[in-house]
Structure 1
Amino acid sequence: MTTREPAKTIGAVRARAVVIGLAMLLAAVDLGLKVWVSGALAGGETIDLGPVQLRLGFNSGVAFGLGADLPAGVVLSVTGLIIVALAVFAWRVTPTATLPARLALAALLAGAGANLVDRTADGMVIDYLRTGWFPTFNMADVFITIGAAALVLVSLGKRQGEDPA
């Protein structure tokens, strides 16, 4: 064992702790908003925020309602497996990933995890952000989209032969 190995281990632990902590914080933001919106807009009210309105909606499918006709258990199982795969990937690459890649992974895990937690109660996800021209969505969806886009951009920015994360 060299003297550098403990420092690498501590760095890996810190990097993973930051990704997990940020993912939990972002997931809590989305879940908290879902709880608030469920109570505040239960009567069908809409809050106009300019380009976006807060309006309560429910989605039993995944993105754009795909899979809405499938049994909730199937959607939960498949989503859970995807999240486990994402978490294993994040766990493995985080120690050597750049900060932007770590932030992207945290956002992806947060959004996916928050929607999974929300879906476990009744097989549906609470949506609350409406633009009028796009399907209603939630902050978890925003986190997933931004995280995925950022991870793609980070990967494209790497020089050939480098680790993608």
Structure 2
Amino acid sequence: MTAPGHTATVARARLVMAAVALGLAALDLGLKAWAERGLAAGDTVDLGVIQLRLAFNPGVAFSLGDTLPAGVLLAVTGLIITALAVYTWRSARTGTLPMRLALAVVLAGAVANFVDRAVDGVVTDYLHTGWFPTFNGADVFITLGAAALILATLHADHRAKDRTEGGAQ
């Protein structure tokens, strides 16, 4: 049986993860809508290191799968997102705060790109560096969230190893 305090803590963690994921997904979808309105005439806004430039990606990362029907990409990414959402939900019980937040950030990016693709079969991109394919905020969320998850996992594993070695002496 689960202690009432633990149940409340898990519920709070899930609420925070959902709020982070939904908030960041909404932010990206808003930026995509802004980019479509503000950059529709082919305008490019130079911000130094990065440019704002409108592009549409019918594929996934680096346009992989761009010749597949949009429905196939939606189905496959939908299944992946569902698995990620279930894993994120379950991680509220055992994951550290950095792990849970990192998962929420990855989920936010995945959901934002999925919702964007569901509308017209393409993902709206608006960030360009000149040397890297054009991307969007959701892609940044996925990349930074995955990196943070790796670091958080390594840190948690290192701490667990330290506790085990310290307790064995």
1:56-82 Cα deviation digits (max 9, x unpaired): 000000000000000100000000000
Structure-2 residue corresponding to 1:14: 12
- Alpha-carbon deviations, 1:23-76, whole Å to 9, x = none? 101001100000001000100001111100000000000000000000100000
TM-score normalised by L of structure 1? 0.93
Match for residue 106 of structure 1? 104
Following superposition, which runs of at least 4 residues in structure 1 exceed 3 angstroms of deviation? Answer: none
TM (norm. structure 2) is 0.91
Counting aligned pairs with the same residue, the percent is 62
Residue 126 of structure 1 is matched in structure 2 by 124
Segments of structure 2 that go 5 or more residues without pairing to the other structure are 161-169
| In 2: Cα distance, 1:70 partner to 1:161 partner | 44
Task: Give the number of aligned pairs.
Answer: 160
Larger Rg: 1 or 2? 2
Alignment root-mean-square deviation, CA: 1.4
**Where is the helix percentage greater, Structure 1 or Structure 2?**
2
Unaligned runs of 5+ in 1: none
Distance in 2 between residues matched to 1:118 and 1:159, nearest whole Å: 36
Q: In structure 2, what is the Cα distance between the partners aligned to 1:63 and 1:69?
A: 13
Q: Which amino acid in 2 is paired with 1:87?
A: A
Match of 1:68 among 55, 66, 69: 66
